[in-house]
């Protein structure tokens, strides 16, 4: 789906057995991604892929690419620079992978609904694609402030970033 000058592809991992997602649910997540890109003044045109999957798949990615042998809520894989001579007209920012079952457990623990948690994780993932990190206290403060600002724009005033 194109949102302004951002192409946001949402992929539902069929093997994960996530069931049917209606257009409204998809639009909510794409809006969260677009709002983050706009808030961060990401280059336009640009695109990314948001993959909704399960704990098994995200566990494998986390183990194989980050050396962490357990599932997690969200992973971001920045695309990197285009190959010389192969630059496209729009920048591909990368891929965001979210485990829906993991997100559901976090939502229940936090006392809000799954769609709110998925929006938080989508925002978090986009910020990572754009270079944010939370390894150091000052980085975390900046990233959490950006997340909170976008979540407030989305009307999710009661959703706060987790402590990760």
Which pLDDT band holds residue 5 (cuts at 50, 70, 90)? Answer: confident
Task: Tell me the per-residue pLDDT of 72-115, one tens digit each, with 9 for 90 and over.
Answer: 999 999 997 665 665 555 689 999 999 999 999 999 999 999 99
Domain positions in the chain: 2-153
Confidence of residue 148 (pLDDT cuts 50, 70, 90): very high
Rounded to a whole number, what is the largest CA-CA distance in the chain? 50
Task: Tell me what pLDDT residue 17 has.
Answer: 86
CB 125 within 8 Å of CB 80: no
Q: What is the mean pLDDT of residues 56-85?
A: 90
pLDDT reported for residue 86: 56
Report which of 95, 82, 85, 12 is spatially closest to residue 47, judged by C-alpha positions: 95
pTM over 0.85: yes
Q: Residue 163: which residues within 8 A CB-CB, separation 6 or more?
A: none
CATH number among 3.40.920.10, 3.50.50.60, 3.40.390.30, 3.90.1150.10, domain 2-153 = 3.40.390.30
Range 137-150 average pLDDT:
94
Cα–Cα distance for residue pair 140/161, rounded to 1 Å? 10
Answer yes or no: are the C-beta atoms of 6 and 33 closer than 8 Å: yes
Q: Which residues contact 7 (CB under 8 A, 6 or more apart)?
A: 1, 45, 46, 47, 48, 90
The residue that leads in pLDDT, 32 or 45, is 32
Span 52-81, average pLDDT: 94
Instruction: Map tokens 């993959």 to a residue.
Output: 51
* pLDDT for the residue numbered 2: 45
The percentage of the chain sitting over the pLDDT mark of 70, rounded to a whole number, equals 90
Q: Report strand pairing: 91-99 vs 2-3.
A: unpaired
Q: SS3 of 68, please?
A: coil
């Amino acid at each position: 789906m194109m949102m302004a000058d951002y192409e946001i592809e949402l992929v539902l991992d069929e093997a994960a057995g996530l069931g049917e997602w209606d257009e409204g649910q998809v639009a909510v997540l794409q809006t969260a991604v677009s709002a983050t890109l706009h808030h961060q003044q990401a280059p336009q045109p640009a695109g990314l892929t948001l993959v909704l999957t399960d704990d098994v798949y995200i566990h494998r990615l986390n183990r194989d690419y980050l050396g962490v042998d357990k599932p997690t809520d969200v992973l971001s894989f920045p695309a990197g620079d285009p190959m010389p001579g192969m630059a496209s007209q729009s920048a591909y920012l990368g891929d965001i992978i979210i485990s829906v079952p993991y997100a559901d457990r976090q939502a229940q623990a936090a006392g809000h609904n799954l769609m709110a948690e998925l929006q938080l994780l989508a925002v978090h993932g986009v910020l990572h694609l754009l270079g944010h990190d939370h390894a150091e206290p000052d980085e975390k403060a900046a990233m959490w402030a950006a997340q909170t600002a976008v979540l407030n724009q989305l009307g999710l005033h009661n959703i706060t970033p987790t402590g990760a």
